[in-house]
Amino acid sequence: MLLRHTPEEVKERSSLTINPAKTCQPVGAMYAALGVNRCLPHSHGSQGCCAYHRSALTRHYKEPIMATTSSFTEGASVFGGQANVLEAVTNIFNLYDPDIIAVHTTCLSEVIGDDLTQILNKAKTDGKIPEGKLVIHANTPSFKGSHITGYSSMVASFIQNFAEPTETKKMQINLLPSFVEPSDMSEIKHIAELMDVKYVMLPDTSDVVNGPMDGKFHMYPKGGTPLEGIKSMGASTKTIAMGRVGTLAAAKLLDTKLKVPYEMLDLPIGVGATDAFIEALRKAAGASVPAELMVERGKYIDVMLDMNQYTSGKKVSLVGDPDLMLGLAAFCKENDMQVLHVVSGTKPGSKFEKRIKEICGDDVIVKTGPQADMFYFHQLLQNDKPDLIFGNTYCKYIARDMDIPLIRVGFPIYDRIGHSYFPVTGYRGGLHLLDQVLDTIMDRQDRDALPEKFELVM
């Protein structure tokens, strides 16, 4: 057994997190900043933070992940990191020439109380920031929230710093996706484009962290939300936010600061949530739903129906980020599966559990926060074994020990590549996810069937 020390009996823990179902804020901030065109993320802390975050994102995407660091030493930790930032800014513009540096803090720089607003002002008045170049920051101490809130804070910081107030509105919609894959960002754009809706999506990591092989290294790939786009977000008529935990901060800011009202939706995973997204888009932009989109919808539902006998009644357990959990729970219920467990290391606020229960029924076990970790998740599974696990790569240890198939979804996925290219959002994403689920379930049926029960046609 790989996880041979995990006992079946669940005992309450208050202090020890074992096999976390979350990671720290800065990596989320780094990911969000990669989704802005010609923006270089900068980690204000020890260089280990930056090394770890770049490594995690590189393992997940198998693409270059570029980010710089303030490289704190013990001296900087005592005297403050201002000198490090000033030196870093000069070197970064000189050597790497980004349009924007997006600084995120770390536990180290937060504990010593570095005031980034003041430091970056100084950088400006000292002439360290070349004309036309921009440096912003987000506070992302690792002792608060998780990678999802770090992502959320960085996105909010882009709005705070760049989105401009205006009296004249534009016929455009703001789209704010929670922490999802580049493939999902593409899919959300695909839907808006099919509907002919003008939009600005922030961030947009598609064509950044899933770029093509063209024989060249691009420090700043062609993707990412353009700065001009972010500036114009204050002129949009509406914001559609997808995933409360990852987007609420930015959506609220657009509302209160720039008077752009928002509609908060779940991530468009499954039929209902995708319908809701399209409905919101349709109403906000006065657009009609094109036939092509109806065909995508119809194809997905067609397959759901064709194969319902294989999904119906299957018991599933979900672990990962809250916005994703809500989407996956809905997806599973629509396919007549029974959700047994939902576990997330991120604390999502009081509405989360209620929403999960609305979707899955009152019997589902929901736990979030520091001790809602994969050790606990594994214990739940030992007590009530599901047919399928939905979760990140780390679930493979549980999956193997318990001989339960795993659908890889969430962050990080270090051992498969599909997530970068094939979405789980939208109708096409639903079809793709269902295809994965069916392959998994049916492979298992083929593996386990008695010789006389082995089916040719399924």
Partner 1 sequence: MEDQYTPGMEEDFKAEILEKYPSKLKKKRSRQIVINNIDDNGDVPQIHANTRTTPGILTMRGCSYAGCKGVVLGPTRDILQITHGPIGCGFYSWLTRRNQTRPETETSANYMPYAMSTDLQEEEIIFGGEKKLKAAIDEAVALFNPKAIGIFSTCPVGLIGDDVHAVAREMEAKYPHINIFGFSCEGYKGVSQSAGHHVANNKVFTDVVGLDDTPKEGKFRFNILGEYNIGGDAFEIERVVEKCGLTLHSTFSGNSNYQEFVSAHTVDLNTVMCHRSINYLAEMMETKYGIPWFKINFIGADATAKSLLKIAQFFGDKDLIAQTQKVIDEEMAKVKVVRDEVKARCEGKTAALFVGGSRAHHYQELFAEIGMKTIAAGYEFAHRDDYEGRKVMPSIVVDADSRNIEELTVTADPERYKQRKSDAEMEQFKKDGFAFEDYTGMMGDMENKALVIDDLNHYELEKLIEHMHPDIICAGIKEKYVVQKQGIPMKQLHSYDYMGPFAGFEGAINFYKEIDRLVHSKVFGLTKAPWETSPELSGLYGWNA
Residues 403-442 that bind partner 1 (CB under 8 A): 414
CA distance readout (Å), 79 to 82, 114, 122, 367: 9, 10, 17, 41
Catalytic member of 27, 85, 107, 437: 107
Active site residue 424: no
Q: Which is nearer to partner 1, 120 or 265 (CB)?
A: 120
Alpha helices in 96-212 (DSSP H): 107-111, 116-125, 147-162, 182-194
In this structure, the number of other CB atoms found within 10 A of the CB of residue 289 comes to: 16
Q: Which two tokens stand for residue 405?
A: 């198939």
Q: Which two tokens stand for residue 217?
A: 């290294």
Q: How far apart are CA 113 and CA 77, in angstroms?
A: 10
Q: How far apart are CA 328 and CA 388, in angstroms?
A: 12
Work out whether 7 is an interface residue with partner 1 (CB under 8 A): yes
Residues 17-36 that bind partner 1 (CB under 8 A): 17-20, 22-24, 26-27
Q: What is the DSSP string of 257-322?
A: HH---EEEE----SHHHHHHHHHHHHHHHT----HHHHHHHHHHHHHHHHTHHHHTT-EEEEES-H
Residue whose C-alpha is closest to residue 266's, from 194, 334, 368: 334
Residues 40-99 that bind partner 1 (CB under 8 A): 42, 45-49, 51-56, 58-59, 62-77, 84-85, 87-92, 94-96
Residues 360-379 that bind partner 1 (CB under 8 A): 370, 375
Contact map string, positions 197 to 216, toward partner 1, x by CB under 8 A: --------------x-xxxx
Contact map string, positions 378 to 407, toward partner 1, x by CB under 8 A: ----------------x--x----------
Work out whether 2 is an interface residue with partner 1 (CB under 8 A): yes
CB of 89 to partner 1, least distance (A): 7
Active site residue 332: no
- Amino acid present at 92: I
Q: Are 320 and 410 in contact (CB under 8 A)?
A: yes
Work out whether 14 is an interface residue with partner 1 (CB under 8 A): yes
Q: Are 422 and 183 in contact (CB under 8 A)?
A: yes
Residues 213-232 that bind partner 1 (CB under 8 A): 213-218
Work out whether 299 is an interface residue with partner 1 (CB under 8 A): no
Work out whether 131 is an interface residue with partner 1 (CB under 8 A): no
Q: Which is nearer to partner 1, 109 or 239 (CB)?
A: 109
Residues 143-182 that bind partner 1 (CB under 8 A): 143-144, 146
Q: Which is nearer to partner 1, 123 or 250 (CB)?
A: 123
Q: Which is nearer to partner 1, 317 or 346 (CB)?
A: 346
Work out whether 127 is an interface residue with partner 1 (CB under 8 A): no
Q: How far apart are CA 323 and CA 424, in angstroms?
A: 13
Active site residue ranges: 107, 111
